[in-house]
Structure 1
């Protein structure tokens, strides 16, 4: 068994306004979980040459709002390597946010980024 602990993948993405589902241009939390699934897929490909299968999420925490117009980064890091399973810690951070009060296309960099969602997940590979 190869120890893959510490392997990290980061995806960055702009959230278009078509993703807003609620007042205040809020994006549902399932969007973040789908992003984590994409990160986990890349981790499995890089470590095991297979897309793997997501088995479960645990300890999902919604810490701050995600809004249309945000630029986010979803990060996953393997924290435990089993024979066929990998435990991954995830975090979705908002790195930039639109600022319509300053103009239709105004935006700002969040320094430091705002942690919006964290979770732990388990994937299984052949």
Structure 2
């Protein structure tokens, strides 16, 4: 089974809601990046993403956080690829004291499953 992980700092400029919350589309963009990376590594092609079977938003992502986006190849058909995605918060952004905290246990914020296609 192949897995690819990207780590990103979430800029405060990406926060659009009260409490420095980031919209769910931020996670889906990162899933696109890490999914493309997985496709290149496993098939030598960027592939085409067909859609999500499921998406679950489980915990907030905030400006100042550091997140890990992970794509894991779950199933490989002739041309289709089922990919499991997870986005975890590994460092919680600064609080009122201006300090950030590396988390002992990452927070699973978003989980998804989708299908990509490798062109013939």
**Fold conserved (TM > 0.5)?**
yes
Deviations 1:22-73 (A, max 9, x none): 0100000010011001011001111111100000102200000000000000
**TM-score by structure 2 length?**
0.96
Unaligned residue ranges in structure 2 (runs of 5+): none
Please show how residues 81-96 of structure 1 align to structure 2 within 5 Å: 81-96=76-91
Paired position in structure 2 for 1:42 = 37
Paired position in structure 1 for 2:118 = 125
Paired position in structure 2 for 1:67 = 62
Secondary structure at the aligned position of 2:74 is classed as strand
How many pairs does the alignment contain? 119
Structure number with the higher strand fraction is 2
Q: Distance in 2 between matches of 1:107 and 1:98?
A: 5
Paired position in structure 2 for 1:115 = 108
Stretches (4+) displaced over 6 A: none
